[in-house]
Amino acid sequence: MSGVYPILLCGGSGTRLWPLSRKSYPKQFSKLTGGQSLFQASAQRLSGPTYEAPIIVTADDFRFIAAEQLAGVEQAAKAILIEPEARNTAPAVLSAAVWLAQTDPEAVMLVAPSDHVIADAEQFRAAVDAALPAAQGGAIVTFGITPTRPETGYGYLELAAGASTEATVPQDLAGFVEKPDAARAEEMLARGGFLWNAGIFLFSVRTILAAFETHAPEILAGVRAAVADAKSDLGFTRLASDAWAQLEDISIDYAVMERVENLMVMPYPGAWSDLGSWEAVWLESDPDTSGNVCSQNATAIDCRDTLLRSEAPSLELVGIGLEDMTVVAMPDAVLVARKSDGQRVKEAVAALKERQAKQAVEFPVDHRPWGWFESLVIAGRFQVKRIVVHPGASLSLQSHHHRSEHWIVVEGTAKVTVDDEVKLVTENQSVYIPLGAVHRMENPGKVPMVLIEVQTGSYLGEDDIVRYEDAYARS
């Protein structure tokens, strides 16, 4: 019998943790509460002797980030499925089930978002083990968290009569409760019999396919077509875009979970958070005796119940006399809000999008398959970048219509192609790339290569690139 297959969903682009989480680099890939990203911590939590390699469902922009971060925790995916566009959790989960049915139709899937925090991984795996017999027997098991406060930002699960929130095996479920208002949340907490809905599921491939066949056959047909016509691309699996575009944008809760009769809930008493707001990050970050949480480059003076985070090593953040505040400083954007208004951060993102401010969606560090870069100075006709290239990686062979470039290597060695000339450029050496020259930069070494790039010209946008060859199959 095969082990449990973790299905990690990491295609989202959440905005409630702006400015750290943005469309181009969402929160699951950030280090919010420790030395690993949320995605890496999730992958490690759902690993062990009884687990297979994970199946990742993500967006095209994140495929190399996911693969690189998995390698960073010494894991490799069973498959990385690329969604052509976001269609919510029902198609995403179903795509993994349909793909897995081709090779292991009796498999059991553990579906989990990749941006949650579960402090005790061993305790959670024990809960999965306890729920496994029910899943193998044909039940769909959802995991419910013991509420610790009247939270209005979570959905709830109502247990059936006679079921216990303290049980150590799956319990019968009466139904789902949408995110309540404060009074309703208080009432449910006082009455008991309710759990927070963690959005984590355990079921067999055969069971979930049967559920979609009964309750959402049109979604099943579309996903089967998208998987059948999928293309392999550098080890990734690209789901067919034409079939995918026809799918309904719907969550797995609405599509099938609220309709099936074989749904059970596994109570989980341990600590859990979906980190859905900065207040949740504050709660998970062990506030000091004054209720303050400060990052390495932040200082609180006479503050209470306040979160201060500086995400730039060269930026010192100081709060004086603040109470119930969230202040998050990035190199290109700063958030200042009452901590209790954490659910309104998405309004800020919407306002910035309306103004077409790039900070609404673009992260200051631009992650690429070969490494990353950040802009240090931007002016009318010049730009200065720091570029880091991974060992063995290379940029595409390319040219520009509107700019020339100067490269200065500050760490490592660069292999540089300029038209017909290829040479090595070492630390403290530089090279000039004339406008229109066909060029490429590679890192032939075993350590990251760092260089400073100075661009000059009439237009400095990232779309001024003509690619001739690319190891990462980008157009």
Residues 331 and 265 in one domain: no
On whether both 251 and 117 belong to a single domain, the answer is yes
**Average of pLDDT values for 187-204?**
95
Residues 103 and 190 in one domain: yes
Amino acid present at 367: H
Label residue 447 exposed, middle or buried (CB < 10 Å: 0-12, 13-18, 19+): exposed
Q: What is the pTM of this model?
A: 0.89
On the question of pLDDT at 114 being above 70, the answer is: yes
Q: How confident is the model at residue 233 (pLDDT cuts 50, 70, 90)?
A: confident
Q: Looking at the predicted structure, is the pLDDT value of residue 69 above 80? A: yes
Give the pLDDT score at 183.
92
DSSP state of 343: G
Per-residue tokens: 232: 């392999």
Same domain, residue pair 462 and 380: yes
pLDDT value of position 343 = 85
Contact between 266 and 200 under an 8 Å Cβ cutoff? The reply is: no
One domain, residues 344 and 374: no
Has residue 134 been placed in a domain? yes
Q: Is 222 within a domain?
A: yes
Predicted confidence (pLDDT) per residue in 462-473, tens digit: 899 999 999 888
Rounded to the nearest angstrom, the gap between the alpha carbon of residue 84 and the centroid of all alpha carbons in its chain is: 16
Tokens describing residue 153: 């930002």
Domain of residue 104 covers 4-273
If asked whether residues 349 and 373 sit together in one domain, one would say: no
Residue type for 160, please? Answer: A
Q: At residue 230, does pLDDT exceed 90?
A: yes
Query: What pLDDT does 475 receive?
Result: 63
Q: pLDDT-based confidence at 12, cuts 50/70/90?
A: confident
Q: In the prediction, which pLDDT does 13 show?
A: 73
Asked, for residue 57, whether it belongs to a domain, the answer is yes
Q: Which of 249, 273, 297 is the last residue of a domain?
A: 273
What's the CATH number where 398 sits? 2.60.120.10
Query: pLDDT tens across 30-58, in order?
Result: 998 888 999 999 999 999 999 999 999 99
Q: In the predicted model, is pLDDT for residue 2 greater than 80? A: no
Residue 105: its pLDDT value, please? 93
Boundary residue ending a domain (243, 273, 303): 273
Residue type, 448: P
Question: Is the residue at 143 inside a domain?
Answer: yes
- 160 and 209 inside one domain: yes
Tokens at 451, concatenated: 């260089």
pLDDT digits (tens, 9 = 90+) for 326-337: 999 999 999 999
- Residue 197 sits in the same domain as residue 225: yes
Q: Are 142 and 264 in contact (CB under 8 A)?
A: yes
Give the per-residue pLDDT at 1: 58
| Rounded (10°) CA dihedral 167, 169, 175, 177 | 60
Structure tokens, 277: 């707001």
In the chain, how many domains are there?
Answer: 3
Q: Residue 371: which pLDDT band, with cuts at 50, 70 and 90?
A: very high
Cα 328 to Cα 32, 179, 278, 433, 447: the distances in Å are: 12, 27, 9, 38, 32
Q: Are residues 307 and 171 in the same domain?
A: no
Position 342 scores a pLDDT of 87
Cα 34 from Cα 31, distance rounded (Å): 6
| Last residue of one domain, picked from the residues 226, 249, 273 | 273
Which helix (H) or strand (E) is 453 found in, with range?
A: strand 449-457
Report the percentage of the chain scoring pLDDT > 70.
100
Under 8 Å between Cβ of 206 and 109:
no
Cis peptide, bond prior to residue 444, ω within 30 of zero: no
Q: Do 136 and 185 fall into the same domain?
A: yes
What is the tens place of the pLDDT at every residue in 373-425? 999 999 989 999 999 999 999 999 999 999 999 999 999 999 999 999 999 99
What is residue 297's predicted lDDT score, i.e. its pLDDT?
A: 95
Pair (191, 290) in one structural domain: no
